[in-house]
Amino acid sequence: MDGPITFRVTATDGIARAGKLATPHGEIATPAFMPVGTRAAVKAMAPDELWGMGFRMVLANAYHLLVRPGPELVNAMGGVARFMGFPGAILTDSGGFQAMSLAKINSIDEGGIRFRSHLDGAAVNLTPESAVALQEALGADIMMSLDECTPFPATHERAMASLELTARWAERGLRARRSAMQALFGIVQGGMYADLRKMSAAQISALEFDGYAAGGLSVGEPKEIMYEMAALSASMLPQARPRYLMGVGTPADLIAAIGMGYDMFDCVLPTRNARNGSAFTSAGTLSIKRAAYARDERPLDTDCGCRPCRTLSRAYLRHLFMSGEILAARALTEHNLFFYARLMDRAQAAIASQSFGAYAKSIRDGIAAGDATAMAEE
């Protein structure tokens, strides 16, 4: 590789595209979903299990690793990937999202973000420069520029100030970069305003990042607005670099975003929903808590080859969940992540065979039919 990463498009179908993203820790086929391992751990899953499902990149969070166990320890252990025993690549979020999600314990100004640790109240300062240095110390393959995630709702004036701050921070982060073998991505903001999304995309695209992301979406806005802003952001980003839609979303969201030209995704939904008893299936979302499954011998999804679907019935999984057994969270998480991995594999194949439109429709139709059945059974 000439730089920290290389990206090449291998197939297109309309706007949707498949590609290969090469990193120091291996190649990732795109479109790709990254399981969220906030604290260098994807909840309920071992790193080798993730690898076995086909995941080649995991997301970790720089802020959470800063407060525990600290970048010095992670660096001494060889970086995040080696520390957690994952043979693939790592993308680290900068901590900008925590400025919104932990809003009660932070303040933001031109200099950066000041936190009070959610663990012990200790002062934590993140600047555009220190966020890059932190991620370099963590050994991330792909680092994210520090940004201010615009909350929803926000006035036009507030969203404008947020995107301009993000652009100034992006320039500072680029200047602070020291590692030639770690990629740095810029992030588009702009809230839910089309003119501001265009402005932010133009500002961030003009900077020499290794890839570009759309942030500040799926933060409480109506779905149709999220889709509109995501599509607009993607249309403004460089063709030759990877495009990353941050924090989105459901299987239907991912398929829609692939159709917009995005290459990379992350979201807590497959793991969080699993812990709450919810499974993603080819026939829509299934809540294992329902009494109707108490004697159901079927697997979660008859069109699935994951280990839980091969070996465990809905009845048994419901029993585990209602009993508070840890195995319920493990089994449902494994199933959901397998489902997401397969969703990406099939999307890649559909793009390569020029059948992505039909594939996307089959996903939408299956989810709609399953949801209709679930409503009828209520």
Residue 303 known to be catalytic: no
C-alpha closest to that of 25 among 16, 17, 12, 34: 34
What is the SS3 assignment for 36? strand
Q: Are 33 and 269 in contact (CB under 8 A)?
A: no
| Catalytic annotation, pick one of 210, 263, 266, 301 | 266
Q: Which two tokens stand for residue 290?
A: 């329902």
Angle, CA 27 vertex, CA 235 and CA 82 arms, to 5°: 120
Q: Are 232 and 194 in contact (CB under 8 A)?
A: yes
Residue 266 known to be catalytic: yes
DSSP 142-193: EEE-------SS--HHHHHHHHHHHHHHHHHHHHH---SSSEEEEEE--TT-
Distance between CA atoms of 16 and 362, rounded to whole angstroms? 16
DSSP 251-302: HHHHHHHHTTT--EEE-SHHHHHHHTTEEEETTEEEETT-GGGTT--S-S-T
What is the SS3 assignment for 202? helix
Distance between CA atoms of 75 and 82, rounded to whole angstroms? 10
| Catalytic annotation, pick one of 13, 93, 253, 301 | 93
User: 68-92: string of b/e by CB count within 10 Å (b at 16+)?
Assistant: eeebeebeeeebbbebbebebbbbb
Instruction: Give catalytic residue positions.
Output: 93, 266
